[in-house]
Amino acid sequence: MEAISLIVGLGNPGSEYARTRHNAGFWFIDALAEKYQARWNTDKKLQAETAKITVSGHSMHLLKPLTFMNVSGRPVVAGLHYWKIDPAACLLVHDELDLAPGTARLKFDGGHGGQNGLRDTMAQLGHGGFHRLRIGIGHPGHKDKVTPWVLGRPGAEDAVAILQAVDTAIGVVPMLADGRINDAMKQLHTPAAK
């Protein structure tokens, strides 16, 4: 399987969204950039903040769209074209309603499950042939409560669990850089990784 060379965190820009559940992708990418001491630069052409890190001797691009979640596909596709990266070597990190807080799961391809950042990226690409890292945020229990839930901030316990999932997922990034996607999946998907 192809090594990951572009990691995209999905979220909404602006301080009012910073610690919301919907910004779990930003929580991840910010923590990853901090761990590898990356410096963010604003790229107006890509409509994104970008950074570069070296993991296990491999270069990886990081991207945070500056557009809102529902139009984040444009910066993602612009980054893929700019760096000449195949979508199969791209990892989109996003919040996942169907997973409990504290859970992180890897997946390749599939539907968007109502996640607007994935929906727009798939619409821009014309397919879903990229990797996803799903950060669990839990479900409010009823579909009518989803919007305020994802745009709200998690309680203290859930916030700690989400950050633990982020930390666990950052631990498998060296495997992703090496192209050991299945090993990374096994590590994240075993009960000990929860």
In a domain, 1, yes or no: no
What's the CATH code of the domain at 137? 3.40.50.1470
pLDDT (tens digit, 9 = 90+) per residue, 133-167? Answer: 999 999 999 989 999 999 999 999 999 999 999 99
> Is 22 marked active-site?
yes
In a domain, 96, yes or no: yes
In a domain, 165, yes or no: yes
In a domain, 83, yes or no: yes
The per-residue pLDDT for 113 is: 87
In a domain, 74, yes or no: yes
Catalytic residue among 22, 61, 94, 131: 22
**What 8-state DSSP symbol labels residue 143?**
G
Residue 120 structural domain: 6-193
The answer to whether residue 192 scores a pLDDT higher than 60 is no
The per-residue pLDDT for 193 is: 43
pLDDT (tens digit, 9 = 90+) per residue, 78-118? Answer: 999 999 999 999 999 999 999 999 999 999 998 888 899 99
The pTM for the full model equals 0.95
Q: What is the DSSP string of 157-175?
A: HHHHHHHHHHHHHHTTHHH
Which is nearest to 174 in space by CA: 37, 51, 36? 36
The per-residue pLDDT for 68 is: 92
| Structural domains counted in the chain | 1
Which is nearest to 73 in space by CA: 3, 136, 26, 128? 128
In a domain, 120, yes or no: yes
The answer to whether residue 1 scores a pLDDT higher than 70 is no
